[in-house]
A = this chain, B = another copy of it.
Amino acid sequence: MADENRLLGVAVLGVGRMGRRHALNTAFFTPRARLVAVCDPIEACLQWAEENLPASVRRQTDFQQIFDDPQVQAVVIATETSSHARLAVEALRAGKHVLLEKPISINPRDSEPVLAAAKENEVEGLKLKCMVGLSRRFDESYKEVKRQIDAGLLGTPYLIKSATNDMYDPSGFFVKFSEASGGLIVDCGIHDIDMARWLFGLTTAVTTSDCDDAPRVKRVFSTGLSVRHPELAKTNDADNAICVVEFTGGKVLDFHLSRTGLHGHDCLTEVFGSERKVIVNGNPTINRVEIRDQHGVRTESTPTYYERFREAFVTEVNEFVACCLDDTVVPVSLDDAVQAGKIADALTHAFRTGKQVLFGDDGEAIYE
């Protein structure tokens, strides 16, 4: 039974895009949380909050006020990527649990202070929770695949093919966004990489230093295409990328990122096991309606990742809140996000140099 006397006080930092979803989900669909405040320096964002959130939710512009607020026990950080790491460190030092939007940082090195802060700080004698919002882990379909793997139904999973294909945005938003986002692979690919490490069962093993034969990355390969935006070459970016990550132990991830989809957001995963293959989202339907008319037999697709993962975002914040209240281990560790970030970084390097990148026995990429 839910203990009503103990609701987690939550503040959302940044209510521009994903932050709005988090604020709504926390306010209305997270029974064990209370949305105390939102914080955003931009007026229009606070205006949105006034129109869409309960009147009791404080609207603030100064992050420090949030960190000083004793009613706030946890923060959701959904600001722009460049401020993720700094705000996470400050929040942890202020004794707040943190749910941090991905990626932690564009450059893997910049994630290290967050790891350190998470280790050093605690609240009331308890370790603070710090979870990264790798939302795919909270999706019912991916969870079902993980359950099947853990139950041995796939035998040994050996190959994951994945595609994260966004519908083309004619406004060219992602082109302008390119540099600040770290590029296509860092911005999008981290989801595919983390998902693969999780389904391959590497999310714990690789961090165990005393286990020498735990699977680790062996090499990565990448190539990119600029189908609609040749100008992305200026920022060393692309609107499509093919990436291959080879792990020791006979496991491979082959994924395709794209900003030039036509029918909607299409996020497909195939997991090949020795005993069973499973596919997630073979058809990215938005609902259970099929149309038959002069265009054939057809379904309509989720336009963006948000419709696809709407329920996963609700589950994510609910699971995070439960971890904070019940002092349990967060399902997505900081280390998982850091490792995925390193692989994304190496893939970006491979794409930019046209050479494959090898990894050493220490799990670090060898940049020549």
Show the binding face of A for B, using Cβ within 8 Å: 1-4, 27-29, 31, 50-56, 140-141, 144-145, 148, 156, 158-159, 161, 219, 221, 223, 225-228, 240, 242, 244, 246, 250-252, 254, 256, 258, 260-264, 266, 272, 274-285, 287-301, 354-356
Contact = CB atoms under 8 A, between A and B. Distances in A.
B283 A225 contact: no
Given A55-B1, A276-B262, A356-B221, A254 B242 contact: yes
A291 B154 CA distance: 10
9 A-B pairs with the lowest CB-CB distances in the bound complex, closest first: A298-B298, A141-B288, A295-B295, A296-B298, A276-B293, A277-B292, A279-B290, A28-B31, A263-B292
Contact of A298 (B56, B242, B295): B295
A244 B242 contact: yes
A307 to B, nearest CB: 11
A151 to B, nearest CB: 13
Q: In terms of DSSP, what is the predominant structure of the interface of chain A?
A: mixed
Contacts of A246: 223
A356 B225 CA distance: 18
Nearest to A288: B141
A1 B51 contact: yes
Contacts of A29: 29, 31
B282 A159 contact: no
Nearest to A276: B293
Given A262-B276, A296-B301, A226 B240 contact: no
8 contacts: A2-B28, A141-B288, A260-B274, A263-B293, A278-B289, A279-B289, A280-B289, A292-B301
Contacts of A266: 292
Nearest to A29: B29
Given A141-B289, A250-B225, A4 B56 contact: yes
Contacts of A285: 297
Given A141-B287, A289-B280, A52 B254 contact: no
Given A1-B52, A254-B256, A263-B277, A301 B291 contact: no
A263 B223 contact: no
A159 B256 contact: yes
A283 B263 contact: no
Contacts of A223: 244, 246, 252
A276 B226 CA distance: 16
Contacts of A260: 272, 274
Contact of A276 (B276, B278, B291): B291
Contacts of A1: 50-55
Contacts of A156: 227
Contacts of A281: 288
Contacts of A296: 263-264, 291, 295, 298-301
A252 B242 contact: yes
Given A54-B2, A55-B1, A283-B297, A292 B161 contact: no
Contact of A227 (B225, B254, B274, B290): B274
Contacts of A276: 262, 291-293
